[in-house]
Structure 1
């Protein structure tokens, strides 16, 4: 028996999954609270003990790990203009598993540097200008960043003509610099993979070491990557397949948590109508977005702010007083679970509106423009209307009585200008295996895709 141990050091739980490569099946899974305040290996060892209780003292031929402990990389980015370079910087950060705290555009000010020091980011992504284009702004920003008092590494991914000068300005003991390729070398052409690779390298060198993961090199081997990057790898594999195993085609995934909502799309997103023009940045085939203000408990207020109390009342069927009362309860007790029909109805409404908001923000938008020869349409972002499968994960979706109904409600009453899926089927990742399978795909793609097809391949047509 060839068994691989897959480890996800999450912000709350450390999850272990043991996989048999010969039979291509999951043998057992276990979890324990992540001990991020001390040494994360303590939580790992507790989970490992639980796993051995199920499997005996089994030996593993490989141990692979990913982590989002302590929220992963907290990133600040700066660019030239919001609609171009700054957006490219955000896409690069999300793809690498970082959490973008704030972005700045145009020339930084001393007040901006004070704000950056207050944030104390784990990493700063400095972009600006196409290759051969504007270099004054990125050099000005480099001068100001060099005055920041808090220590953080700086990734320089802007106009290549200015890269070395920016490095000379910024590089110091508290601000080590990393030069990589421009995230937007030409107007409207993204080049985010090199920046993503550097961000992941910094993740390994700085964040992982700080949390105690590097102290157990004999225990954990192989590639360690951010958990969102591992999920993205799993979804990409499931979508595209391998030489031997066919993928399931273009897909999306929504991960609804207590504090944030992540959306992934593995799709080209090109206009489906020949009369539509694609405008602005071409977004990557594999895209992740993070809604930091949308979540079922810590960010429930964000759902209300985005969707409105009237919509929550309409979907839940409760009075505004009942809805307000429940929102007050969960704001004081984040562990509060629905216990009766009314609280289940409220969680249903919150989940549906969280998914709706996150999908709208992730997908592209269609704009009608009137010209002398008639109306034309301009598309910004991805057209995801043709996506027919959305993987759902996260406690509120996995434990729902009817996740398909949540998804159906989420996509109802959406303006046609929002290019979200129109009639998708829900697929549940009820075992939370995506991050584990992303890790496994770096070692054995065939086992990873076959296990995913077994465990998250079925459509949800009604109640579980």
Structure 2
């Protein structure tokens, strides 16, 4: 039978999914530790041997092999803009939507100290924005000159005021900087246009970054590494929500992805106010939005999760009124043993409490808020960010959710509560779990066979 082999070179595990494209079924999945230190194919081959064992007795012909990757720290970027709340924020959102980890956002004219900081960061790409079309062009030109004079050899995506593009091209053409110019991430005040920049980032990832991360051995085996893993998850979420040419989408949804280092939230929704009399304030929100919380992880970031949440919040989820559990020590143990797999009832219970905390805080940071403001006309309600109260589905992925006997309870921690009525989190969503780790692979499949990807997700995402 003809099949697709879909590969996710993850930061911890390399995950393989074999899809029967005739019967639209998942034939088998397998995973093993990612081996980025020496040869990434070592971990892949171990996972592939497990996959072959699972496929024993079936004649499978892999007609296509597609991959995504977050190995070697994933795609790391800085975003540079003009005003922090406007073009700098727009640049950040474009980078996050492309599957990047944004290390820092810079605003206004870069200083020598900031350039030095950028040079010393372990970056992959710089996103250079600034100014609406026809607006301020001096700032982005200044920043282009600073980058060119610094000797930085990183790829640069220019997505700012189009009036400055000719000057920037002249500046960069005199150096050996690799750069791509695309449409402005904020062509008009408060209007977002992130898709062109996202696409340029994805192309650079394919052309430059994969090779730089020592993954050329993998490139020789597969048809190509198409995108960073988070971008593949966002692609899967979007096609499931909006549908494809032949398949109906399921409507607005949120993906909660709890990992060892970060908790990622992806929402596919317009996010307009659901209550009458509420006016929008601030920068326009993208329909497909991703946020990354680098301090909310189950292993690498366990200490920062404890610091962000506080002992009492974790203890509340543990229902530990007698204070018998040492919260700090449990978090330290996980940070020092990043490959720890919980085996006892106490360890499982603590992991699930961490998962609930990560979900609650990450959702509060991702969702919009509504505030009341007193005016001469009386009380006025304003909304900043997305209203997600009517979202139909919350989809959970990541180890703590997939292995939990009560994944719905972990996801419920990210829903609306009267204790925090300003946060516009989902009110009554249905909970789905990605039991077979297929979201990233379906994002890859959706690049070529979107109708099939939607049908498979509808079939394999499990309601709880």
**TM-score (normalizing by structure 1):** 0.94
Q: What whole-Å deviation, never above 9, does each CA across 1:292-336 have from its counterpart, x for those lacking one?
A: 111112112222222221211222133176222312322322233
Does residue 244 (structure 1) correspond to residue 249 (structure 2)? The answer is no
Confirm or deny: 8 A CA contact 1:294 1:354 kept in the other structure. Answer: yes
Which range is displaced more, 259-268 or 134-143? Answer: 134-143
Q: 1:329 to 1:35 in 2, by over 3 A?
A: closer
**Distance in 1 separating the partners of 2:436 and 2:174:** 45
Does residue 383 (structure 1) correspond to residue 390 (structure 2)? The answer is no
Q: 1:367 to 1:173 in 2, by over 3 A?
A: same
**Distance in 2 separating the partners of 1:217 and 1:138:** 36
CA RMSD of aligned residues (A): 1.9
Task: Report what 2:52 is aligned to.
Answer: 52
Q: Unaligned stretches of 5+ in structure 1?
A: none
Confirm or deny: 8 A CA contact 2:245 2:451 kept in the other structure. Answer: no
Residue aligned with 2:72, SS: helix
Q: In the alignment, which of 439, 444, 452 is matched to residue 457 of structure 2?
A: 452
Task: Report what 1:85 is aligned to.
Answer: 87
Does residue 20 (structure 1) correspond to residue 24 (structure 2)? The answer is no
Confirm or deny: 8 A CA contact 2:388 2:425 kept in the other structure. Answer: yes
Which range is displaced more, 153-162 or 238-247? Answer: 238-247
Confirm or deny: 8 A CA contact 2:2 2:60 kept in the other structure. Answer: no
Q: After superposition, where does 1:265-304 map in structure 2 within 5 Å?
A: 265-304=267-306
Q: What whole-Å deviation, never above 9, does each CA across 1:387-423 have from its counterpart, x for those lacking one?
A: 1310001111111221111222343465111111122
Q: What whole-Å deviation, never above 9, does each CA across 1:18-52 have from its counterpart, x for those lacking one?
A: 11111110111122222222332333233223222
Which range is displaced more, 162-171 or 285-294? Answer: 162-171
Residue aligned with 1:61, SS: strand
**Distance in 1 separating the partners of 2:317 and 2:214:** 45
Residue aligned with 1:312, SS: helix
**Distance in 2 separating the partners of 1:45 and 1:284:** 39
Q: After superposition, where does 1:15-164 map in structure 2 within 5 Å?
A: 15-56=15-56, 58-164=60-166
Q: After superposition, where does 1:405-416 map in structure 2 within 5 Å?
A: 405-411=409-415, 412=417, 414-416=419-421
Which range is displaced more, 142-151 or 337-346? Answer: 337-346
Task: Report what 2:10 is aligned to.
Answer: 10
**Distance in 1 separating the partners of 2:354 and 2:220:** 44
Superposed displacement of residue 338, structure 1:
3.5
Which range is displaced more, 131-140 or 307-316? Answer: 307-316
Q: In the alignment, which of 423, 426, 431 is matched to residue 426 of structure 1?
A: 431
Q: Unaligned stretches of 5+ in structure 2?
A: none
Q: 1:131 to 1:20 in 2, by over 3 A?
A: same
**Distance in 2 separating the partners of 1:257 and 1:312:** 17
Q: 1:72 to 1:360 in 2, by over 3 A?
A: same
Confirm or deny: 8 A CA contact 2:40 2:218 kept in the other structure. Answer: no
Does residue 365 (structure 1) correspond to residue 369 (structure 2)? The answer is yes
**Distance in 1 separating the partners of 2:271 and 2:162:** 29
Which range is displaced more, 5-14 or 432-441? Answer: 5-14
Confirm or deny: 8 A CA contact 2:29 2:436 kept in the other structure. Answer: no
**Distance in 2 separating the partners of 1:336 and 1:2:** 37
Task: Report what 1:233 is aligned to.
Answer: 235
Confirm or deny: 8 A CA contact 2:129 2:161 kept in the other structure. Answer: yes
**Distance in 2 separating the partners of 1:148 and 1:31:** 42
Which range is displaced more, 72-81 or 306-315? Answer: 306-315
Confirm or deny: 8 A CA contact 1:315 1:349 kept in the other structure. Answer: yes
Residue aligned with 1:27, SS: strand
Q: What whole-Å deviation, never above 9, does each CA across 1:184-224 have from its counterpart, x for those lacking one?
A: 01001111111111111110111112244445656312662
Residue aligned with 1:146, SS: helix
**Distance in 1 separating the partners of 2:211 and 2:105:** 26
Q: 1:272 to 1:302 in 2, by over 3 A?
A: same
Q: 1:136 to 1:310 in 2, by over 3 A?
A: same
**Distance in 2 separating the partners of 1:50 and 1:229:** 26
**Distance in 1 separating the partners of 2:269 and 2:53:** 41
Q: 1:309 to 1:346 in 2, by over 3 A?
A: same
Superposed displacement of residue 288, structure 1:
1.0
Residue aligned with 1:225, SS: strand
